[in-house]
Amino acid sequence: NVDSAIGMFQELSFFTNQLYGHQVVYFRTLPESNSGDYVFKEWTLYKNVDRKCVKVMVPKNAFPSNMPKYAEFGMDFQIPFEIHLDHRYFQSIFGTKSEPRKRDFLYFPLLNRMFEIQGSYLHRGFMMAPTFWKIQLKKFSPNIDMLLTDDTRHFLDNVILSADQLFSEAVKDDIK
């Protein structure tokens, strides 16, 4: 009897994610296998391996605003926010044994903003069955250690503006 209840709970989570989730573009990254740094025990290069449209849940639709937030140590502009992604739904898109990783990044068309995964863990719901991923996101900042495919680079060039591009006219006027 418990197995059917667990199955029903997981089905509800799966279909809730599909019906009410917000559409995002998910960029999956993996560490480059021959770029291991044995001194610092970390990967030095990451490559973008996949890009898919997925749906994610934002608890209470609490999207971050552009307004600065105040933390206990002063002003903080990059307080992370949380999203949920159903475990079975994620594996149905990216394959079994796949999981959201740190350094994966997402584009939210609704906000027209990019975010990077800061950390994630598999939340266990009813009867400790794995249900969904709780993912902490932070503002995306492109790094030189990321090996991007040509189509991903083209996509990001159309979405992201650098400060030089954004304020180029003002800088030119100041120089004159």
Cα separation, 139 vs 133, in Å, equals: 19
The pTM of the full predicted model, rounded to 2 decimals, is 0.79
Q: How many alpha carbons lie under 13 Å from residue 23 in its C-beta half-sphere? A: 4
Q: What is the pLDDT of residues 124-169, one digit of tens each?
A: 988 888 999 999 999 888 777 777 878 888 888 777 776 677 778 8
pLDDT for res 137? 94
Q: Which amino acid is at 137?
A: L
Tokens of 125: 């719901």
